[in-house]
Amino acid sequence: MYKKILVPLDGSKLSEAVFPYAKELAGRMDLDIVFLHVCSPEESELLPMHRVYIERAAEIVKRQSQEVRKRTGIQTGVKTIEAQVEMAVGHPAEEILNYADNHDIDLICMATHGRSGIRRWALGSVADKVLQASKVPVWLVRVGVPEEIAYDKWPRRTILVPLDGSELAEAVLPHVKAVVKQRDSGLVDVVLLRVCEQPLITADYPFSDWEKHVKQMADYFQQEAQNYLSGWEKRLKGDGIKVRSEVSIGRPSDEIIKYASISPFTLIVMATHGRSGLGRWAFGNVADRVLHGVSNPILLVRPK
């Protein structure tokens, strides 16, 4: 599914938070990497200096990707990973999106939630603009994650996949399969999460019946959700993926954040910018709340 990954860098240590992810993805999934640096027109005279930095970073990540291959024994004997450096002048988000559109990029991996140095990118703002308009999945890495839980140091990996029962949300599942296959599937746990929102009770119900009605509705929604997830569980297990499902009651973003907070070695994979069906999640809003509420990496897929 993925062949080429775009890694935007602004020249700061903050943006380098993506390196552990880029080397693992490239090494385990046989991806070529393009490192893109964008500077403003008034900084264009500094491009040669910035190129030296980006080229050095590209060599380091390329070497580390080859070490990942050697260490894991995955995909030995395949082609050499290519690490390409590109420079551009303009607005960071626009140049990132233009490059992705025009150069067959399959995945964008970038840092978010930070700012480094005067005139450097406001990483949160750039990532948000890229996410809103990107036609390819965006892997967002929150800067400031403690070193002990960096991606390449995770002992095991859990992939949390929130689903609301819609085809929009299910669009992430092929991407989940691709990510699982980057590592021994026995070391990856996939968790399908369906969050049922609390049933609404109107004044039409006598006060004495409210509690009973709420419980009946909650039980019904939970059973329907479990039946739905069980179907996907069976399909994914048929592909050799270790998977289980969970159903909870509450606000979708709150439940996703709660799960991630107690499971630090978790990648969240979810859809964004869509809505499907009356009462289904507005995934743009849910993804936005989750993005600002967790320190876990997030792979966001915009359904077609």
Mean pLDDT of 84-99: 93
Instruction: Identify the structural domains of the chain with CATH numbers, from first to last.
Output: 4-149 (3.40.50.620), 154-301 (3.40.50.620)
* pLDDT of 240 higher than 80: yes
Q: What's the whole-number average pLDDT of the chain?
A: 82
- Among the residue ranges 39-48, 94-103, 118-127, 246-255, the one predicted with the least confidence is 118-127
- How far is it, in rounded angstroms, from Cα 168 to Cα 115? 32
pLDDT number for residue 115: 45
* pLDDT of 42 higher than 50: yes
- Among the residue ranges 164-168, 228-232, 235-239, the one predicted with the least confidence is 164-168
pLDDT number for residue 57: 92
- The pLDDT tens digits for 167-183 are 888 999 999 998 887 66
41-45, 104-108, 146-150, 239-243: range with highest mean pLDDT: 104-108
What pTM does this model have?
A: 0.84
Classify residue 42 as exposed, middle or buried by CB count within 10 Å of its CB (0-12, 13-18, 19+).
Answer: exposed
* pLDDT of 64 higher than 80: yes
pLDDT number for residue 39: 86
Classify residue 120 as exposed, middle or buried by CB count within 10 Å of its CB (0-12, 13-18, 19+).
Answer: middle
Mean pLDDT of 41-63: 88
* pLDDT of 13 higher than 60: yes
- The pLDDT tens digits for 122-138 are 556 788 888 888 999 99
* pLDDT of 244 higher than 80: yes
Hey, CA dihedral for 135, 22, 289, 12, is it positive or negative? Answer: negative
- How far is it, in rounded angstroms, from Cα 55 to Cα 231? 47
More confident residue, 107 or 196: 107
- How far is it, in rounded angstroms, from Cα 84 to Cα 86? 7
Q: Outline where DSSP puts E strands in 237-286.
A: 243-249, 266-271
* pLDDT of 149 higher than 50: yes
Classify residue 272 as exposed, middle or buried by CB count within 10 Å of its CB (0-12, 13-18, 19+).
Answer: buried
